Amino acid sequence: MSQTLVTVDGVPLKVSLARAQRRGKLKAIGLVVPLFLFILVTFFVPILDMLFRSVENQLVGEVMHRTVPLLNNWDEQSGELPSEEVFAALAEDFIEANETKLGGRVGRRLNYEKPGFSGLFRKTTRKAGSLEAPYQQSFIDINQKWGDVENWKIFKRESAPYTISYYLAAVDLGYGETGEIVRNKDDRRIYLKLFWRTVWMSSLITVICLFLAYPIAYLLSALPTRKSNLLIILVLLPFWTSLLVRTTAWIALLQQEGVINDLIVWLGFVADDNRLSMIHNRTGTIIAMVHILLPFMVLPLYSVMKTIPPSYMKAAKSLGATPFTAFVRIYMPNTVAGIGAGAILVFILSIGYYITPALVGGQSGTLISNFIAFHMSSSLNWGLAAALGAILLAIVLILYFLYDRIVGIDNMKLG
């Protein structure tokens, strides 16, 4: 072993070095802290909150705090209703819920599992004052759904503080008769189809972007700087107009009475009564999104291509390769970093894209994010929205991981 090195005044070298570097480190931390806090508050905390909401289920247990502990003793497989004691506790909970106005919310929560709970809870809360012993009969008098064991099973299942039922719903699964997990009926399977549609449409958009952007980026990188700067501005031009304006411009162009249809009818390619429908469907979403996301493909490609010395191609040709071979064997492999960066950027952006599909997607062109938004703002089923979002996040992370394994994140060049 070597002995520890010391400075002239006897302090170990490592200690002395650490001391000298501390100031530099503090300064670096000081520079990073504001952005770090900002990202923490506006990005990580909301994501964690979303992940939490997708499994959180405190409401039922809190509002029905007398009934829920007693339900643990009830054997739901017995086929009998819970005991009178449980109904008595339920009555007390409803009387309290009538005052706190929380009964409706519990009903809405249970309604996700089986339609009808919302009405049941609203009605029962309203009539809580008239409940009296024997409570079981009194409840059944208000609504005979209280006499159905199936309903009690759902109540018990969804009274746990955490639930996976949002995730089940998000992948078109549910609970069967005996509490086992089964696929939903055909007409209620929507989310898997939507996820699949989102993934393949995003892939298609990415591929189209790549094919459109590659030649442009190649041209840009080959031009002298003054000209290429001008063209880069043209590439970036779409960023200067609002997303909404651009999307509505596509509506004006693509609709049945729009410019493009008028043109091809006038040219005689299609009959006037047979105009193409290019908007408010899948085609519309793809066209508009390719247009919007194209710069995100062009820029990484351009920045990579610009760093490829022209001498590579010349060298390949001087070694006897035809221009085509030189391009495929030498030029393209050197742009992989740009292709990867652009593709992952466009794919991740489009997999979560919302406004454009909402405006021009119609029925067949909406994506999963439109449903997330719907559950956030219209149906107010935040748990399901969170579960859908979490699955989307997982898909992106898996793709990112695959990309890292295949291409390597270190090779990615964003600009």
Chain residues in the site for other proteins (CB under 8 A):
309, 311-312, 314-323, 325-326, 329-330, 333-334, 336
Q: What is the smallest separation between the CB atom of 316 and other proteins, expressed in angstroms?
A: 7
Q: What is the smallest separation between the CB atom of 319 and other proteins, expressed in angstroms?
A: 4
Which residue's CB is nearer to other proteins, number 242 or number 311?
311
Q: What is the smallest separation between the CB atom of 6 and other proteins, expressed in angstroms?
A: 36
Neighbour tally for 140: CB within 10 Å: 16
AA identity, residue 349 = L
Measuring CA to CA, which residue among 90, 96, 102 is closest to residue 66? 90
Which residue's CB is nearer to other proteins, number 79 or number 333?
333
Q: What is the smallest separation between the CB atom of 323 and other proteins, expressed in angstroms?
A: 7
E-only strand ranges, 60-197 = 173-175, 181-183
Give the whole-angstrom CA distance, residue 111 versus residue 120: 9
Look at phi and psi of residue 24 and say left if phi exceeds 0, alpha if psi is from -120 to 50, else beta.
Answer: alpha
Measuring CA to CA, which residue among 273, 279, 271 is closest to residue 247? 279
Which residue's CB is nearer to other proteins, number 278 or number 412?
412
Containing 292, the helix (H) or strand (E) segment is helix 282-306
Q: What is the smallest separation between the CB atom of 304 and other proteins, expressed in angstroms?
A: 12
Q: What is the smallest separation between the CB atom of 197 and other proteins, expressed in angstroms?
A: 36
- 356 neighbors 350 (Cβ within 8 angstroms): no
What SS3 class is residue 182?
A: strand
For residue 358, what are the CA distances in angstroms to 194, 201, 238, 289, 291? 14, 14, 19, 11, 16
Work out the burial of residue 39: count CB atoms within 10 Å of its CB; fewer than 13 is exposed, 13-18 middle, 19 or more buried. exposed
Q: What is the dihedral of CA 363, 367, 369, 371, to 10 degrees?
A: 40
Q: Angle at Cα 108 formed by Cα 104 and Cα 109, nearest 5°?
A: 120
Which residue's CB is nearer to other proteins, number 233 or number 332?
332
Give the whole-angstrom CA distance, residue 79 versus residue 70: 17
Q: What is the smallest separation between the CB atom of 337 and other proteins, expressed in angstroms?
A: 10
- 318 neighbors 335 (Cβ within 8 angstroms): no
